[in-house]
């Protein structure tokens, strides 16, 4: 009985510094601690990286896109929004995804060409990413944690404030140039 007691005491002594340190989560468990959108980097459709920290001080409308969707015509509205508000501090960021109906089957070069030829897209775009489920890109997992929303279909939109906070989301049915999106964008644009 005495051996068990000595072992128990030794075990508690060795364990006590770990107990005081708290649970092992976040960075200690090998995961990065993401606080704002500015903590993320996405692969670009051009092959480089898109560091969202480069958009600090700007509002960002993030949209998961697809080339063969009934909502694909929203590219026109996204480009118009980008054209109308980029000088005021808005970035439109397209994120191609094949998660819904396999409507984005192409490689990044095909997606880029489709967007440029059919819609004259010149706003930044990432490479194709997974935006839902267990395999979602960490940025989309963060968006879900921040807003409680996950894309239900292509052309779901998330608005990021200039300080990197996720402000709100808009369903695929909400057109890029709707009054709802315009009001939300204008409310978070940096004041000049």
| Each residue's pLDDT tens digit, 125-158 | 999 999 999 999 999 999 999 999 999 999 999 9
Query: Could you read off the pLDDT of 4-17 as tens digits, one per residue?
Result: 555 444 444 444 44
pLDDT band at 190 (very low <50, low <70, confident <90, very high): confident
Burial of residue 154, with CB atoms counted within 10 A of its CB: 0-12 exposed, 13-18 middle, 19 or more buried: buried
Query: Could you read off the pLDDT of 100-117 as tens digits, one per residue?
Result: 999 999 999 999 999 999
Q: Distance from first CA to last CA of the chain, Å, rounded?
A: 75
Q: Answer whether 159's CB lies under 8 Å from 60's CB.
A: yes
User: Which of 69, 149, 167, 182 is flagged as catalytic?
Assistant: 69
In angstroms, the CA 110 to CA 124 distance is 16
pLDDT value of residue 191: 72
Higher-confidence position of 8 and 49: 49
What is the mean pLDDT of the segment spanning 14-41? 57
pTM given for the model: 0.83
SS3 content of the chain, % helix, strand, coil (to 5): 40, 15, 45
In angstroms, the CA 169 to CA 160 distance is 9
What is the mean pLDDT of the segment spanning 53-69? 97
CATH numbers and ranges of domains, the chain: 36-188 (3.40.30.10)
> Residue 137: how many CB atoms within 10 A of its CB?
18
pLDDT band at 32 (very low <50, low <70, confident <90, very high): low
| Continuous segment of H or E residues that includes residue 71 | none
What is the mean pLDDT of the segment spanning 173-178? 98
69 has catalytic annotation? yes
Higher-confidence position of 23 and 37: 37
What is the mean pLDDT of the segment spanning 171-178? 98
In angstroms, the CA 103 to CA 71 distance is 11
Q: Answer whether 61's CB lies under 8 Å from 185's CB.
A: yes
């Amino acid at each position: 009985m005495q051996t068990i007691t000595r072992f128990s005491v030794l075990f508690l002594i060795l364990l006590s510094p770990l107990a005081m340190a708290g649970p092992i989560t976040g960075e200690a468990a090998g995961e990065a601690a993401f606080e704002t959108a500015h903590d993320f980097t996405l692969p670009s459709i051009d092959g480089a990286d898109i560091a969202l920290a480069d958009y600090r001080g700007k509002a960002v409308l993030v949209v998961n896109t697809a080339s063969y969707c009934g909502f694909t015509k929203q590219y026109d509205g996204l480009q118009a929004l980008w054209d109308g508000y980029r000088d005021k501090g808005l970035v439109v960021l397209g994120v191609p995804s094949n998660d819904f109906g396999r409507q984005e089957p192409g490689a990044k070069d095909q997606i880029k060409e489709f967007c440029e030829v059919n819609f004259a897209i010149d706003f930044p775009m990432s490479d194709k990413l997974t935006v839902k489920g267990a395999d979602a890109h960490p940025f989309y997992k963060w968006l879900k944690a921040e807003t409680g929303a996950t894309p239900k279909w292509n052309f779901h939109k998330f608005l990021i404030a200039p300080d990197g906070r996720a402000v709100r989301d808009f369903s695929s049915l909400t057109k890029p140039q709707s009054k709802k999106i315009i009001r939300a964008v204008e409310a978070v644009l940096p004041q000049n």
